Structure 1
Amino acid sequence: MTEYEMPDPVVRIEDAREAARDLVVIPNRGVQLVPNIGIVGGSHSVLVVETGMGPENAEAVLKFATEVARGRRLYLTTTHFHPEHAFGAQVFAGEATFLINKAQAEDLAVKGPGYLEMFKGLGEAVARRLDGVRLARPDLVYDTDYDLDLGGRTVQLRATGRAHSKGDQIVTVPDAGVMFTGDLVESGQFAIFPWFPPHDIDVSGTRWLAVMERLVAERPRVVVPGHGDVGDARLLEDVRDYLHVLREETWLRRGSAMSEETIVEEVAAVMVARHPEWEGREWIEKGVGCLCYEHSVR
């Protein structure tokens, strides 16, 4: 996945800032494999969204959340099972109620061990962060939606169905107009397609696009992406539009005798010309590969 040594994916608690009343975001500061993390409070409970990668990061997040909570009950949820989002949940055992959707729980149990080993291969800094990881079991599993009462504030947890992963989850705070998207949305970066055949082919470009159409219609005031700067509803529109063009440009060429390698070259040129400032160009190839497959089985 990478040809260079990744920086240490450390969560910096000191960068935390308030995005709404009793709602704090710990930003990823543009560091790879560091997610944006949320702390959402109500009168009697506090929800933590994402753990950071590994026990040490999660311990810092838990300590900070405990200070913010000031005696309130703690909950933990994660937007999907990938290591930087969920591979610190073990630290919260006995301190917080860990709740996620059924598909994500299955991903964590079935695919988690393979992702743990794969990510350890991304460099020494990442491997150190993952040292001692034990994949946690959720305390509470829901099917498609769950309304969490924090006391005077309800947080909506919604499983989107298969998109970036099988178990993607949107976390919405309606009274604040805030939406946590996980890796369904990135800011300033091409969409991350974890397309690794034959080991993992659960990502779906077509279903992801359908999910984004629904999210755009919700028009949240604040969007907290999986990675990158916090923004507004335009972040949702950017991802929707990118996925739409990626699909159309790929399928236009897939219907010809053109090789997949040539399709990748041509589509990548189109997408980079449209978004020259975006990072993560390597994910365009993965997206094209996924959509070529979906074209063949539709």
Structure 2
Amino acid sequence: MRRSAVIAFCFGLLVLPAAGLAQQPENIVLTDETKQLTPHLWAIFGNPNIGIVVGSKGTLVIDTGLGRRNGVTVAAAVAKLRKGGNLYLATTHFHPEHVTGQSGFPAGTVVIRPTVQQKEIEESGIGMIDFFRSRSDVNKELLVDAGIDKADILFDKEMTLDLGDVTVRMVYYGPTHTNGDIIFLVDPDKAMISGDIVQNKFVILPIGTQTNIHGWIKVLDRVAELKPTLILPDHSPPGDLSMLPEQQAFMTDLLEQAQAAKKQGKSVEDTVSSLSEEFKKKYAGWLRPGNLTRAITQAYKEAQ
């Protein structure tokens, strides 16, 4: 996608906030407080949640926070946990709160990404950074010098990183939230860092140029085969394997209801209006209800 198209896309989000990226939590400025979740996995909770996998021969950090300042904070927290060896950084997807803190990490950090995600960063990253800058004065300050960063190692579908007494399997199953989202499986802990692919009671939002709800459900089928016992998402609380069928049920419900409305001859506007109210009641307490407008619009588009 050309940069001008990306900017136009982001402008559309600005003038229609209910239909675009959800309202961000206030904890966009991360702290260096870490919490241990499994023998090898720590987390910094914020927007987004940061995963830190510590092994005897290396450490992997998953996501960076928004801008260099957050990257420095995350790197300082990681320095207290490391046991030696290389420091690695990988990112769940290309959105600014996940990638733009890369410049805050120390020299020598080895950055790993799937090829499709790096391509998405280079094609759409600047437009998305500009959009995030426009959302608040805090964002503008955090992203003052943000730009497009490169990866040291690229992979296509899958890569396993050996950190000594723990391994991390990084897998790309196809477009979901964005074109290049990936998941991370930590063994022997049976822990998963799921990014936006699997969330905990959270209204999902396909936002990539190649994403759709049907494809996302198929990816969840493959993710379920990994059988994690703990899942750390990036914008919702940790949970267990039950998050997967719960999210699939929500997405299936969304598709079925939109299809029924379309068959009845309802317009997309009427469908959004009626289903938004219904889903807010049916899924009361779910995070990011503001995503419903765009999610229902996508489901209506996919309906036969």
Fold similarity call, TM over 0.5: yes
What is aligned with 1:13? 32
Matches for 1:146-225 after TM superposition, within 5 Å: 146-194=159-207, 201-225=209-233
Aligned-pair Cα RMSD in Å? 1.9
Contact 2:54-2:83 within 8 A present in 1 as well: no
Q: Distance in 2 between matches of 1:165 and 1:68?
A: 31
What is aligned with 1:105? 118
Indicate how the Cα distance of structure 1 residues 122 and 178 shifts in structure 2: closer, same or farther if over 3 A, else same: same
- Alignment pair present for 1:228 and 2:253: no
Letter in 1 for 2:102: A
- Which string of whole-angstrom CA distances, capped at 9 and with x for unpartnered residues, describes residues 21-75 of structure 1? 13211112xxxxx111111022211000010111000001111112211432100
Matches for 1:65-84 after TM superposition, within 5 Å: 65-84=78-97
Q: Distance in 1 between matches of 2:106 and 2:275?
A: 45
Q: Distance in 2 between matches of 1:269 and 1:5?
A: 21
What is aligned with 1:31? none
Q: Distance in 2 between matches of 1:201 and 1:84?
A: 19
Indicate how the Cα distance of structure 1 residues 245 and 146 shifts in structure 2: closer, same or farther if over 3 A, else same: same
Indicate how the Cα distance of structure 1 residues 282 and 90 shifts in structure 2: closer, same or farther if over 3 A, else same: same
2:59 to 27, 42, 46: 46
- Which string of whole-angstrom CA distances, capped at 9 and with x for unpartnered residues, describes residues 205-225 of structure 1? 111111112223332110001
What is aligned with 1:135? 148
Q: Where in structure 1 are there 5+ consecutive unaligned residues? A: 29-33, 195-199
2:289 to 281, 294, 297: 281
User: How far apart are residue 267 of structure 1 and its match?
Assistant: 1.8
Contact 1:8-1:125 within 8 A present in 2 as well: no
Name the SS of the counterpart of 1:52 in structure 2. coil
Indicate how the Cα distance of structure 1 residues 266 and 216 shifts in structure 2: closer, same or farther if over 3 A, else same: farther
User: How far apart are residue 8 of structure 1 and its match?
Assistant: 5.4
The normalised TM-score by structure 1 is: 0.90
Contact 2:50-2:61 within 8 A present in 1 as well: yes
Q: Distance in 2 between matches of 1:193 and 1:121?
A: 21
Contact 2:167-2:187 within 8 A present in 1 as well: yes
Q: Distance in 1 between matches of 2:104 and 2:173?
A: 27
Contact 2:170-2:184 within 8 A present in 1 as well: yes
Q: Distance in 2 between matches of 1:42 and 1:8?
A: 28
Letter in 1 for 2:50: I
Indicate how the Cα distance of structure 1 residues 65 and 5 shifts in structure 2: closer, same or farther if over 3 A, else same: closer
Contact 2:56-2:84 within 8 A present in 1 as well: no
Name the SS of the counterpart of 1:25 in structure 2. strand
Letter in 2 for 1:92: F
What is aligned with 1:197? none
Q: Distance in 2 between matches of 1:178 and 1:58?
A: 23
User: How far apart are residue 6 of structure 1 and its match?
Assistant: 6.5
- Which string of whole-angstrom CA distances, capped at 9 and with x for unpartnered residues, describes residues 143-192 of structure 1? 00001111122110001211111101001113101001111123242113
The normalised TM-score by structure 2 is: 0.88
Q: Where in structure 2 are there 5+ consecutive unaligned residues? A: 1-12
User: How far apart are residue 5 of structure 1 and its match?
Assistant: 9.1
Q: Distance in 2 between matches of 1:73 and 1:97?
A: 7
Indicate how the Cα distance of structure 1 residues 232 and 13 shifts in structure 2: closer, same or farther if over 3 A, else same: same
Letter in 2 for 1:11: L
Letter in 2 for 1:282: G
1:62 to 75, 90, 102: 75
Name the SS of the counterpart of 1:184 in structure 2. coil
